[in-house]
Amino acid sequence: MPLQRFEKLDPDRQQAILAAARTEFAARGFSGASYNAIIKAAGLSKGAMYYYFADKADLCRTVIERVLAQLADAAGELGPFDDAPGFWREIRALTGRAMLEMLAMPELADLTRLIYGEGSSSEILGPLIERAEAWCTETLAAGQPVGAVRSDIPLSFLATAVLGLLVHTDRWIAERLDTLEAAELERLSLACLDMVEHLATPVPDPNPARA
């Protein structure tokens, strides 16, 4: 949430600022990025920058929020379904769309990784984490009515587990993107979604209580 003034700024200028910030934050993370460098790259003065954004965290939040919106836009909504397999089919379709977008724009992936990479300790990016977990929780909740998602543990707990798994495997894959065959990449991504499905599916493998 930049100061309201930002919205009234010449759109080219807006884009210049956001682009510079995107580049710097994606490359060096939040605390690693130099606000001064962003200001210089964006071609304005310190006073101007602080006139439009409250502080470094504000700019970073804004950048990531836009990126998240872009991602959400690309991923779209869960389509209709009326049983558990249908739910998981839709989940796969949605994450597939999101993955395509991220592959097409690596900076986007870096930025989303930023949320969990540094946000956990500092409260600066905390709200973004909460939003991500809230979204995940809601999505999982949609699968409960058709019996696709367990409800024996708090849904937010399950969402956290799922997100943790996804975030880390995503990082694993990102680190090896160059050396990974396309087929292997797809196989791992699917394996990943299988894991998520197994995590979320109700009582995946109980030994049925005797009598």
Partner DNA sequence: ACGGTTTCAGACCGCTGGTCCAACTCACGG
Partner DNA sequence: CCGTGAGTTGGACCAGCGGTCTGAAACCGT
Contact positions toward DNA, by CB under 7 A?
Answer: 5, 8-9, 33-37, 44-48, 50-52, 55-57
Select 9 or 78, whichever has its Cβ closest to DNA: 9
Q: Given the complex with a second copy, which of 146 and 166 has the nearer CB atom?
A: 166
Looking up tokens 């696709």, which residue turns up?
148
Contact pick of 122, 145, 151, 202 for a second copy (by CB under 8 A):
122
Looking at the Cβ atoms of 45 and 122, the one nearer to a second copy is 122
Say how far apart CA 64 and CA 1 lie, in whole Å: 11
Q: Closest CB to DNA among 33 and 115?
A: 33
Distance CA 137, CA 19 (A): 31
Return the one option of DNA, a second copy, none that residue 181 interacts with (CB less than 5 to 8 A, by type): none
> What separation in angstroms does the CA of 87 have from each of 79, 80, 99, 141?
9, 8, 18, 11
Give min distance, CB of 64 to DNA, in A: 16
**Nearest residue (CB) to a second copy, 76 versus 164:** 164
69 versus 191: smaller Cβ distance to a second copy:
191
Shortest Å, Cβ 30 to DNA: 9
DSSP single-letter state for residue 104 = H
d(CA 14, CA 10): 6
Region 132-191 residues binding a second copy, contact defined as CB under 8 A: 152-154, 156-157, 160-161, 163-169, 171-172, 187-188, 191
Tokens of residue 125, six digits:
């990016």
Q: Which does 113 bind (CB under 5 to 8 A by kind): a second copy, DNA, none?
A: a second copy
Beta carbons within 8 Å of 148's beta carbon, 6+ residues apart: 83, 84, 87, 88, 200, 201
Q: How far is the CB of 184 from a second copy (least distance, A)?
A: 9
The residue count for binding a second copy (CB under 8 A) is 37
Residues 6+ apart with CB under 8 A from 138: none
Tell whether the torsion through CA atoms of 162, 168, 169 and 174 is positive or negative: positive
130, 116 Cβ separation under 8 angstroms: no
Residues interacting with a second copy, by CB under 8 A? 28-29, 31-32, 113-114, 116-118, 120-122, 152-154, 156-157, 160-161, 163-169, 171-172, 187-188, 191-192, 195, 198-199, 204-205
